[in-house]
Homo-oligomer: A and B are copies of this chain.
């Protein structure tokens, strides 16, 4: 990490130790696929989700039900199999050996959603439709950094079909899940 000299003279700068902490979280964040068996205390999970919500407003689904999570996991496995069809050996076997999710091993899954029909006029969205997605991803990154600081592992899950994820989670057609955040969290190992 870059060493951080004192930025004396800049108003409203965080103290050195606080800046170092923020850089540490940014530098140490990783996608996690292997999880410990501990449960996440509710107050830790609440802090992470509250921090995420300091980004723009989106929907949050917490999925603890093992049957639902098994269905999502199966979705990922099918998708990984389907994607592998496009690769030749030895790449195909290598791809199939990759662990791309930790949906069931984790203690909780999160699916972050946004509803583009919710407001007719949103500043910025008149010009760039995708600002919906931008907002959602800022929320996800807030969550990932807060989780990293809390010692909670988070893994984005993007190897699945949105339409089928919607069906499993009961998400209406007009609401967009960011399935990269149908994530699995537990302590890092």
Contacts and interface: CB of A to CB of B under 8 A. Distances in A.
Interface of A: 2, 4-5, 7, 10-14, 17-27, 29, 36, 38, 41, 43-44, 46-47, 50-51, 54-55, 79, 83, 86, 98, 100, 121, 123-128, 130-131, 133-134, 136-138, 140-142, 144-146, 148-152, 156, 158-162, 178-180, 187-188
Nearest to A141: B141
Contact of A158 (B21, B22, B131): B131
Given A128-B179, A131-B180, A180-B128, A187 B11 contact: yes
A162 to B, nearest CB: 7
A174 B180 CA distance: 24
B7 A127 contact: no
Given A137-B134, A138-B141, A127 B14 contact: no
B83 A159 contact: no
B17 A21 contact: yes
A151 B13 contact: yes
A4 B47 contact: yes
A149 B180 contact: no
Nearest to A36: B11
B79 A150 contact: no
Contacts of A38: 10
